[in-house]
Structure 1
Amino acid sequence: MQGTLFINGLSGFLIVTALLVALAPRPVQAARFYALQSLVLVALFVSIAMTTGSTELYLWSASAFVTKVVLVPVIMTKMFRRLEDPELGSGAVMPAALSIVGAALIVILCYAVISRVTLPAALPLKPALAISLAHFFLGLGCIVGQRNILKQVFGYCLMENGSHLTLAILAPNAPELVEVGIATDAVFAVVIMAVLGMRISKTLGSLDARKLTTLKG
């Protein structure tokens, strides 16, 4: 009982760190906040493993720490440091206050949806499951609601973290190969999107997605 309460409470920090990533004024700062969020995700994996007795989740935790807490933020920091753009802080479609209110509404809506779920594995962790679903939509909102290309890359990372937590809650005994596949996809996707962002910045002199309106051969 105490384990599930801790997991449900700790999952709330994912929403806080997601907002920090989405609202960070500089890409390097956003990368550091993403590393912090991934550390919270690893702690959730360990807590779920202790509660469910899943040895697979301990392996998930180790691989997630290497890829999400260390590898991906280091890649982002090295690549994005060259792309410091004053437009990053002003690229949001919605102001910060409205983004926070929107995040709260998304969490409430997702909890209302998850409250109808009757899967045995999800019953004690419904708040955490609702937050994982809300986290996915927050990442999607970051992609849609941010005009800066780098922030859209972080939106993808947030979506991936939300999906990862959902899988850990609903299928804690899934083979380690599943987690390795997800983590590998995330690393390669971040590298590809970061490279594209660098090339776009060099070509257009900007990271504003609104300027990607003309195809040049």
Structure 2
Amino acid sequence: MTGFTLVNVLGGLLIVTSMMVVLAKKSKTAAYCYAVQSLVLVLSFVTLGATTGSTELFTWAGTAFITKVLVVPGIILYLSNKVGDAGAALEPRVNKSVLPIIIAVEVAVCFAAVQGVSLPTALEVKPALAISLAHFFIGLTCIVTQRNIVKQIFGYCLMENGSHLTLALLAPNAPELVEVGVATDAFLAVIIMAVVAYRIHKVAGTLDAEDLMELKG
């Protein structure tokens, strides 16, 4: 198995873990699934770095491990401990059996879209590129379909993981400063969203997005 093939296989695992995040009933379970996905993303960076000779990707892998595998899931787990089981009983806005179908369609559309990509850096990793693009739509699906506002945070995280992988596939030699910017934006965004979710639960006593439709500033 070549390095590029392994990257594509790891991309397939990203889809599996994304589906686990979206379908998880409890936020804690989703946090653990997200940590696993982020670990797969780290392995993708390491494999891609070893295959392309890009030392920058090893730095990306180290930063992603700290922020995505450890810190971000830790923040969500801390938030989940603060709010308890609130929101665990909230069902998605669409039937759970429909979500895998939606995700499959999104992946298929992205596979079709990348067939026209002729960049030299993307020729060997088109499956992984399609999956990275699909993560944007999977994350958006998570945000739109979930009523639990803590679960909606994971939608943003999935979108960010997808953009992170897309950047690594198309620009593996991008300077470490780019990675720092991407990781910092995601880290700060999750902190802000977690604080907002906690304050909403504390003041309004709910994590149901539908209960917040009439909130006024």
Give the residue type in structure 1 aligned to 2:177: L
Query: What is the deviation of 1:86?
Result: 5.0
TM-score (norm 2): 0.96
Question: Higher mean Cα deviation, 99-108 or 163-172?
Answer: 99-108
* Distance of aligned partners of 1:93 and 1:216 in 2 relative to their CA distance in 1, 3 Å threshold: closer
Between stretches 63-72 and 96-105, larger displacement belongs to: 96-105
Correspondence for 2:3: 3
Q: Which amino acid aligns with 1:170?
A: L
Gaps of 5+ in 1: none
More displaced stretch, 99-108 vs 155-164: 99-108
**Structure 2: distance between partners of 1:84 and 1:145:** 22
Deviations 1:5-52 (A, max 9, x none): 111111101111111111111111111111000000000000110111
Q: Distance in 1 between matches of 2:16 and 2:216?
A: 40
The 5 A counterparts of 1:25-104 are 25-104=25-104
TM-score, with length taken from structure 1: 0.96
Contact persistence 1:91–1:208 (CA under 8 A): no
AA matched with 1:198: Y
The 3 A distance-change label for structure 1 pair 204 and 151 is same
Unaligned runs of 5+ in 2: none
In 1, the alpha carbon distance for the partners of 2:210 and 2:84 equals 18
Residues 80 and 194, structure 1, Cα contact 8 Å, conserved in 2:
no
Shift, 1:101, TM fit: 1.2
SS, match of residue 88 in structure 1:
coil
Letter in 2 for 1:32: Y
Aligned partner of residue 92 in structure 1, secondary structure: coil
Counterpart of 1:108 in structure 2: which amino acid?
Answer: A
Point out the more displaced range, 205-214 or 152-161. 205-214
1:90, CA displacement in angstroms? 3.0
Taking the TM superposition and a 5 Å limit, the aligned residue runs for 1:153-172 are: 153-172=153-172
CA deviations over 1:101-123 (Å, ceiling 9, x no partner)? 11111111100000111111111
Aligned AA for 2:39? Answer: L
What is the SS of the residue equivalent to 1:122? helix
Distance 1:71 1:86, change over 3 A: closer
How many aligned positions are there?
217
Displacement of 1:88: 3.2
Matched, 1:149 2:145: no
Identity %, equivalent residues: 56
Tell me the residue number matched to 1:180: 180
Q: Structure 2 vs 1, CA of residues 89 and 179 (structure 1 numbering), >3 Å: closer, same or farther?
A: farther
1:67 partner amino acid: T
Task: Give distance in 1, aligned partners of 2:127 and 2:82.
Answer: 39
Amino acid at match of 2:154: F
